[in-house]
Amino acid sequence: MDAGLHLPTVAVVTGGFLALGLVIALVRWRRARPGFISVTDLATYETLHTASMAGRHLADGFTDDGCERAAPYLRAMLATPGLAVCDTSGVIVWEGEGRHHLPAVMDQAAPVLASGQVVVLGPDTVTCTSTECPVRAAVIAPVIVDDRVVGAIAGYGPQVSAGLARAAEEVASWVATQVELADLSFERTRAMEAELRALRAQISPHFIYNSLAAIASFVRTDPSRARELLLEFADFTRYALRRDGAFTTVSEELRNVERYLVLEQARFGDRLSITLKIAPEVLPVRVPYLAIQPLVENAVRHGLAPKEGPGHVVLSATDHGSVAEFSVDDDGVGAHPETIRKILDGQSRSDSVGLGNVDARLRQVYGEEFGLVVDTAPGAGMKVSFRVPKYSPALEQPA
């Protein structure tokens, strides 16, 4: 067989690194901690850590809750006494000193929200009667997503330098990038949900027709077998069409695979043989719903059905400590590696059941390194495998 095919890793590079360089210059001098080569190293670490913490709270986009949680870190990145975050409808949060300036924020931010340009305000605009308040000036930078101003970041302090103005602009740009990434993630999730619905619908009319035809063939000759197959068919479709939860256990998924294979064996008879090699340790592991059955269906429908004579499918689930590995190996007609590559790259709407869908969902849940690996060649069968960590934060969602 040809070497395994891997979907090339796509690295999404977060913008705004220039902002981090500028912000580093604003980090207050602190004594270097043991382990850091220099004060610059310490400043770099602290700035990157602060940006990481802020980005974590913006993972859902420019939401009120996310902005409130991110505000302390954004203020730390600018090193200003006060910071305000607003969207086009109002102020979301004021962080730090000078909160009594909050009522004026929207009037001061209005030109920024309208023009998308950075505005620097001096004491003539940012007025204050309190001698203890450190706020006498402000820099307000727009958060622009897809050429649309969605909000603004406003740093308030005693004065505004050219460096602070530039840093505020870059921090706002960095926030915009986080929002864009959140939007892309949301769209990808919606796409995956749509594909999962399509995968459910892909319990293809051919499979339904063939299953019912096989059941019907036993009605007169073996009514008991027909009744058992009908119950298996009902349980299979109930599981495949369920709506609760994005995850299930390996045990539940394999039970549905067994139902599928029982129905297919009723149709293929001796032409189809199956071997299951399942490590008990992996049965409780949670995996994305419909992650295994589509791979088995692909092996039967596209590997063995076109083949003359009998065919064999081996389904394995093995334990590797912190990782579980699954593979579906058939001795069918195989496929050209480039054809499979295009399916996994999303460049082909081939009839290969679920390969692209399962690959995309695995990568979305676990990361780019956890997609499908396909070994195949024309006439040489096909092996589809994937590995998943037994424990992942994504699996905290209810099953």
Summarize the confidence of residues 290-301 as an average pLDDT.
89
pLDDT score of 100 more than 80: yes
Q: What is the pLDDT of residue 198?
A: 57
pLDDT bracket for residue 2 (50, 70, 90) = very low
In 3D space, the residue among 334, 348, 316 whose CA is nearest the CA of residue 378 turns out to be 334
Q: What is the pLDDT of residue 200?
A: 56
Q: What is the pLDDT of residue 3?
A: 41
pLDDT higher at 9 or 391: 391
Least confident of 178-192, 205-219, 273-287, 336-350: 178-192
Q: What is the pLDDT of residue 42?
A: 61
pLDDT score of 323 more than 90: yes
pLDDT score of 205 more than 70: no
Summarize the confidence of residues 286-303 as an average pLDDT.
89
pLDDT score of 228 more than 70: yes
Sheet containing strand 272-278, edge to edge, reads: 272-278, 311-320, 323-330, 382-389, 373-376
Per-residue model confidence as pLDDT tens digits over 11-66: 333 334 334 443 443 344 344 444 445 665 666 566 666 777 777 878 778 888 88
pLDDT higher at 217 or 310: 310
- Cβ(78)–Cβ(155) below 8 Å: yes
Q: What is the pLDDT of residue 181?
A: 79
Least confident of 227-236, 293-302, 332-341: 227-236
Least confident of 24-38, 249-263, 379-393: 24-38
Most confident region among 110-114, 231-235, 360-364 by mean pLDDT: 110-114
pLDDT bracket for residue 239 (50, 70, 90) = confident
The pTM of the full predicted model, rounded to 2 decimals, is 0.52
What's at 138, amino acid-wise?
Answer: A
Buried b (16+ CB within 10 A) or exposed e, 6-24: ebeeeeeeeebeebbebbb
pLDDT higher at 220 or 3: 220
pLDDT higher at 199 or 185: 185
- Cβ(345)–Cβ(7) below 8 Å: yes
Per-residue model confidence as pLDDT tens digits over 119-136: 999 999 999 989 899 999
DSSP per-residue string spanning 287-355: EETTSSHHHHHHIIIIIITTSSS-EEEEEEEEEETTEEEEEEEE-S----HHHHHHHHTT----S-TTH
- Average pLDDT of the chain is 80
pLDDT score of 155 more than 90: yes
pLDDT higher at 314 or 3: 314
Q: What is the pLDDT of residue 345?
A: 74
Report the percentage of the chain scoring pLDDT > 90: 38
Burial (CB count within 10 angstroms: exposed 0-12, middle 13-18, buried 19+), residue 72? middle
